[in-house]
Amino acid sequence: MAKDLYSILGVSKDASDKEIKRAYRKIAQQNHPDVNPDNPAAEERFKEAAAAFEVIGSADKRALYDEFGPDGLREGFNADAARRYGTAAGFGAGGPGGFDDILRDLFGGGGSPFGRGSPFGGGFNQAPQRGAHVEVTLRVSLAEAVSGCKKRLMGYGVDVKVRPNIASGQTLRLKGKGKAGPGGKGDLKVHIIVNTPEGAELESEETGHLKLPVPITLVQAVKGGKVAINLPEGGQIKLNLPSNLALPKRMRIPSRGMTTKEGRGHLYVMPYIIPPTIPNEETARESLSQLIEDLDLFYSDDSTD
């Protein structure tokens, strides 16, 4: 008997979309092949969770699964026909048409979904079974996720076209690129992971907000001015610093964070003051020390409490 998809992710059937997404990401992070090399059990758990999330993480597929179970996910399944025949009369001897007619209606002429060992009997023609689906993980940079890209899957001989603004956790399906079988090839399912840019910290997976520490000088903190910000996806932007900047402070650059299904998160710049470089020459060191002591005179007693 197939496992219940909700139990695979450890959520209830009335779980919200956010709860399902959070549960999947937790399992994916804990069992990702990059984190668990040479661990077949973790890899199987990762694939199992990804397959479950592909269904109940989609509103349309989840509705079909909730109403019809695994049969509702079969290729060519006709939901309207299933509702039409889903009565005692429809499946009984008095229903319209023969049982083979009903099956063709439900599954688009692909033959009976039941094998010879089925309790419904073995007299139906069974369509040749397709090959198994193959699941792989593809990591992309934020720049590649924002602009879209084409990546070569080594070992599979196929190119994956990554659409612009794709988000971590999304899956691309390449039909007919999986394993071969009597009824044709299965599909290749590519699970996307967008790498968090180096130097930035992901504040929230749901919102995609990033925190980016940015060094500034004491002069910039006092006088203000423009500071160059290296954007996580590449390129630069000039950010205006106010004079007499009090730290800590968060400065928002809209829609420059990670990609999500709802759009892009924000980039929060976190300025911090770096001390001046201590010179090697003694006279210069003494001058710097005197400047610091003079500067201390301009701090009020309240500011140093």
How deeply is 232 buried, as exposed, middle or buried, from its count of CB atoms within 10 A (0-12, 13-18, 19+)?
buried
Chain centroid, CA 281 distance in Å = 54
40: CB partners within 8 A, 6+ apart: none
Same fold, 5-107 and 201-297: no
Q: How far apart are CA 269 and CA 250, in angstroms?
A: 6
Can you give the pLDDT of all 305 residues of the chain as single tens digits? 568 899 999 999 999 998 998 899 889 888 887 778 788 888 888 888 888 898 898 888 898 889 888 877 777 777 777 777 654 333 433 344 444 555 555 555 444 444 443 333 344 444 567 788 888 989 999 999 999 999 998 778 899 999 999 999 899 999 988 888 777 888 999 999 999 999 999 998 889 999 999 999 999 999 999 999 999 998 999 999 999 998 999 999 999 999 998 899 999 999 999 988 888 888 888 898 898 888 888 876 655 45
The 10s digit of each residue's pLDDT in 130-153 is 788 888 989 999 999 999 999 998
Would you say 152 and 143 are in contact if contact means Cβ atoms under 8 Å apart? no
What superfamily would CATH give domain 201-297? Urease metallochaperone UreE, N-terminal domain (2.60.260.20)
Q: In CATH, what class is 134-194? A: mainly beta
Would you say 100 and 120 are in contact if contact means Cβ atoms under 8 Å apart? no
Q: Mapping DSSP to helix (H, G, I), strand (E, B) and coil, where does residue 194 land?
A: strand
* Neighbouring-strand partners of residue 263: 260
The 10s digit of each residue's pLDDT in 240-274 is 999 999 899 999 999 999 999 889 999 999 999 99
User: What is the residue extent of each domain of the chain?
Assistant: 5-107, 134-194, 201-297
Question: Which pLDDT belongs to residue 303?
Answer: 52
Question: Which pLDDT belongs to residue 54?
Answer: 87
52: CB partners within 8 A, 6+ apart: 5, 6, 8, 9, 24
Q: Which fold has domain 5-107?
A: Helix Hairpins (1.10.287)
Q: How far apart are CA 176 and CA 130, in angstroms?
A: 9
Question: Which pLDDT belongs to residue 273?
Answer: 93
